[in-house]
Amino acid sequence: MICPIVGKARVIGAIVVADKEPGEELFSNDSKLLSTIATEAGLAIENALLYSELEALLLGAIRSLVKALEASSYWTAGHTERVTEYALGIGRVMGLEAGMLEKLKISSLLHDIGKIATPKEILNKNGKLERNEWDEIKRHPGRGADILVELKQFKEIIQRSSITTSTGTDRTASSA
């Protein structure tokens, strides 16, 4: 008995069932059960394909956003992709599982997203930064966290920590 697995108005596979036991036939109840299983399989496959498309869309949107950000500063062109490749290489050597590697990839791509709120004049300054400019640069991790905090999927990726400086002052840092 063959039962098609149907997705969105198209056949995406088939289930083939042979005799139960030598000499035993397949009955209408078997056909109904097989049809139900094929319908559920079709839904599961379509959902998996849709999820995969959404993941690709999200990753593409993140990469486009990063390219737009890096286009505003000639000093950082390609920086994010290099950081991502290094981070993933280290993650693989560490033996991280696929799910953690995916989170590492997204985190690496977004690590400088807060620079979108940093004035271009500071990002592109040719020469040494003044103290106040350097302070402005150091705010970008917190700004990145603030940008991403509303997105449920990024809550686990955003890390906030408290740092005590050499002068004893407590400073909260955030990174995305």
For the chain, the domain total comes to 2
Residues 115-137 have a mean pLDDT of: 91
Q: Is the pLDDT of residue 138 over 60?
A: yes
CB atoms within 10 A of CB 161: 10
pLDDT per residue as tens digits for the range 32-51:
888 899 989 999 999 999 99
Q: What is the pLDDT of residue 60?
A: 92
pTM as predicted: 0.67
Q: Same structural domain for residues 108 and 90?
A: yes
Burial of 93 (0-12, 13-18, 19+ CB in 10 A): exposed
Among candidate residues 26, 48, 71, the one where a domain is terminated: 71
Residues 176, 131, single domain; the answer is yes
- Are residues 65 and 129 part of one domain? no
Q: What is the 3-state secondary structure (H, E, C) of 65-127?
A: HHHHHHHCCCCCCCHHHHHHHHHHHHHHHHCCCHHHHHHHHHHHHHCCHHHHHCCHHHHCCCC
150 CB neighbour count, 10 Å cutoff:
8
Q: Which structural domain, as residue segments, surrounds residue 38?
A: 1-71
Which residues are catalytic, by number?
115
Q: Which residue type is seen at 119? A: P
